[in-house]
Amino acid sequence: MASKLLNRFPTLNNTAYHILSLPFLRSTVASPFLVHTRLYSEDVSSRVSNRSSLNQVELAKFSSIADTWWDAEGPFKPLHVMNPTRLAFIRSTLCRHFQKDPYCARPFEGLKIVDVGCGGGILSEPLARMGATVTGVDAVEKNIKIARLHSESGPETANIEYCCTTAEKLVEEQREFDAVISLEVIEHVADPAEFCKSLAALTVSNGATVVSTINRSMRSYATAIIAAEYILHWLPKGTHQWSNFLTPQELVLILQRASITVQEMAGFVYNPLTGQWTLSDDISVNFIAFGTKNSQ
Residue placing its CB nearer to ligand SAM in the complex, 12 or 242 = 242
Q: Which does 139 bind (CB under 5 to 8 A by kind): Mg ion, ligand SAM, none?
A: ligand SAM
Stretch that binds ligand SAM, among 36-44, 177-185, 249-257, 286-294 (CB under 6 A): 177-185
**Does 91 appear as a known binding residue?**
no
**Does 54 appear as a known binding residue?**
no
Asked whether position 140 contacts ligand SAM by CB under 6 A, the answer is yes
Residue placing its CB nearer to ligand SAM in the complex, 165 or 294 = 165
Which residue among 41, 49, 143, 280 contacts ligand SAM (CB under 6 A)? 143
Taking the complex as a whole, the smallest distance from the CB of residue 216 to Mg ion amounts, in Å, to 13
> How far is residue 37 from each of residues 24, 100, 238, 243, measured CA to CA in Å?
13, 40, 22, 11
Q: Name which of residues 246 to 275 contact Mg ion (CB under 5 A).
A: none
**Cα–Cα distance between 62 and 55 in angstroms, integer?**
11
Q: Which does 211 bind (CB under 5 to 8 A by kind): Mg ion, ligand SAM, none?
A: none
Burial label for 86, CB within 10 Å (0-12, 13-18, 19+), is buried
Q: Name which of residues 153 to 192 contact Mg ion (CB under 5 A).
A: 184
Q: Which does 117 bind (CB under 5 to 8 A by kind): ligand SAM, Mg ion, none?
A: ligand SAM
115 close to 94: Cβ distance less than 8 angstroms: no
Task: Tell me, by CB under 6 A, how many residues bind ligand SAM.
Answer: 21
- Compute φ and ψ for 248, nearest 5 degrees: -55, -40
**Does 281 appear as a known binding residue?**
no
> Reduced to 3 states, what is the DSSP secondary structure of residue 122?
coil
186 close to 252: Cβ distance less than 8 angstroms: no
Burial label for 18, CB within 10 Å (0-12, 13-18, 19+), is exposed
Which residue among 19, 95, 139, 196 contacts ligand SAM (CB under 6 A)? 139
**Cα–Cα distance between 139 and 118 in angstroms, integer?**
9
Taking the complex as a whole, the smallest distance from the CB of residue 125 to ligand SAM amounts, in Å, to 10
Q: What angle, 0 to 180 degrees and rounded to 10, lies between the N-to-C axes of helices 14-21 and 248-257?
A: 60
Residue placing its CB nearer to Mg ion in the complex, 115 or 178 = 115
What region does 111 belong to: left with phi over 0, alpha with psi -120 to 50, or beta?
beta
**Cα–Cα distance between 273 and 293 in angstroms, integer?**
39
**Does 141 appear as a known binding residue?**
no
Q: Name which of residues 182 to 221 contact ligand SAM (CB under 6 A).
A: 183-185, 188-189
Q: What angle, 0 to 180 degrees and rounded to 10, lies between the N-to-C axes of helices 192-202 and 248-257?
A: 50
Site string for ligand SAM, 249-288 (x = CB under 6 A): ----------------------------------------
SS (H, E, C) 216-256: CCHHHHHHHHHHHHHHCCCCCCCCCCHHHCCCHHHHHHHHH
Residues that bind ligand SAM (CB under 6 A): 53-54, 58-59, 62, 79, 117-119, 122-123, 138-140, 143, 166, 183-185, 188-189
Pick out the residues of the known binding site for Mg(2+): 184, 187-188
Pick out the residues of the known binding site for S-adenosyl-L-methionine: 86, 117, 138, 183
